[in-house]
Structure 1
């Protein structure tokens, strides 16, 4: 199921957080949103999982205007892992994961055999099955993050949006999570700050700066020393990964000039 952001803008208190953003994520593709803090990445994602209503523009899922779907319909199509995803009540891990089935159940309908199998499979994939009876408030930040990913997977979405999903995860679980996204077959829009992980995990990258799309294309086309200097304000040498050929950034700690403001036009790479 494809995802389309069509001329999306979000304005609040007279300030444009996202400006005329148009982006397409093809069925089964993993697209990474990257950019400095405050560039509009999380705001754009909030419009996709309907936590925020855009000032103008449309989000389409499978060609349908998301705003015209019921919340149950959109929750069946789109699952989200938010940047500030928390569980305030001390549910057990298995109870939290089971909440992912809510859009598919009616009222207090109990989980059936298939639902229980989905939950068990998701917990094993995210390496939290051994924590099933633990209260989530007793878990580390990384363990809790993996529980929330399992909950999103149990939702059986066609589109998955994730805002900095590798936060709190150790390197093993970062790699495992991104490998899972690559092999999931889902349409994925993910915000990542680690550009090297983004290059390895994503089919395409979309670079935001000051709310505008400034470049989109494959990681090899997008991640150049010039773009990293202009958008992020740091110097980096870009070298190919010795095994995969993916671009990898080697950073310098010497200061660079502040990023220049975008010229208002999105550069597109094939």
Structure 2
């Protein structure tokens, strides 16, 4: 299902956090949002998963205005994980993952065989099956992050919104997660801080600075030394990946502006 942000603006306390953001994620694409801290990336995502109401602009889910969709419908269509990954109660891992089925169930309806199988499959895909009976508050940050991603997959969404999903993950699980996203067939909008991971995982990249979209396109067109210097204030050389040919950035430590 296609996702489109059309002229999205967010203004709070007289301050413009997102300015006229227009971005399209085609069905099955992985599109990354990158930019410095405070550039509006997370704010834009919050509008998509309806934690925040935009000041103006429209978010299209397929051919429907997100603001006009019933909450249950949008909860079935869009799944999200946030960057803080907060879990306040010591539920077990399997209990947290099962919460992903809530938009599809009525009241206190129990999980059926299909729902339980979905939960088991998602936990195995995220390498947390062995943690099923552990309390989430006993887990590391990376393990908790994978639990929340499993919960999002169990939701069976058409669109997946991820805010820094590789936060706290070790290198192996970062690579495995991004490979999973590439193979999922879902429409994915993801915020990433690691530009090399974004280059490897994303079909297209949008670059935000001070709330505005300053570049958008395939990684090889967007991630240039000039853009990295202008937007991030660091010196980097861009070289082709020896296996894929995609862009990889080599940073010059001590050469930031």
| Structure 1 length-normalised TM | 0.94
**5+ long unaligned stretches in structure 1:** 258-270
- Asked if 1:15 is matched to 2:15, the reply is yes
Aligned to 1:252: 252
Instruction: Check whether the contact 2:32–2:206 (CA below 8 A) recurs between aligned residues.
Output: yes
Structure 1 CA distance, aligned partners of 2:108 and 2:201? 38
Name segments (4+ residues, structure 1) moved above 2 Å: 254-257
Cα displacement (A) at 1:123: 0.2
Structure 2 CA distance, aligned partners of 1:207 and 1:144? 28
Cα displacement (A) at 1:117: 0.3
Helix, strand or coil at the partner of 1:133: coil
Give the length in aligned residue pairs. Answer: 257
Structure 1 CA distance, aligned partners of 2:106 and 2:18? 36
Helix, strand or coil at the partner of 1:173: helix
1:172-196, Cα deviation, whole Å (9 max, x unpaired): 0000000000000000000000000
Aligned to 1:148: 148
Structure 2 CA distance, aligned partners of 1:91 and 1:62? 35
Structure 2 CA distance, aligned partners of 1:14 and 1:94? 43
**5+ long unaligned stretches in structure 2:** none
Aligned to 1:63: 63
Instruction: Check whether the contact 2:83–2:164 (CA below 8 A) recurs between aligned residues.
Output: yes
Aligned to 2:240: 240
- Asked if 1:107 is matched to 2:107, the reply is yes
Aligned to 1:184: 184
Cα displacement (A) at 1:86: 1.2
1:220-244, Cα deviation, whole Å (9 max, x unpaired): 0011000000000000000000000
1:234-256, Cα deviation, whole Å (9 max, x unpaired): 00000000000110000001334
Summarize the alignment of residues 194-209 of structure 1 with structure 2, pairs less than 5 Å apart: 194-209=194-209
Aligned to 2:82: 82
Aligned-CA RMSD value? 0.6
| Structure 2 length-normalised TM | 0.99
Instruction: Check whether the contact 2:3–2:62 (CA below 8 A) recurs between aligned residues.
Output: yes
Cα displacement (A) at 1:23: 0.4
- Asked if 1:132 is matched to 2:137, the reply is no
1:190-234, Cα deviation, whole Å (9 max, x unpaired): 000000000000000000000000000000001100000000000
Helix, strand or coil at the partner of 1:51: coil
1:121-179, Cα deviation, whole Å (9 max, x unpaired): 00000000000000000001110000000000000000000000000000000000000
Aligned to 1:27: 27
Structure 1 CA distance, aligned partners of 2:52 and 2:96? 24
Aligned to 1:51: 51
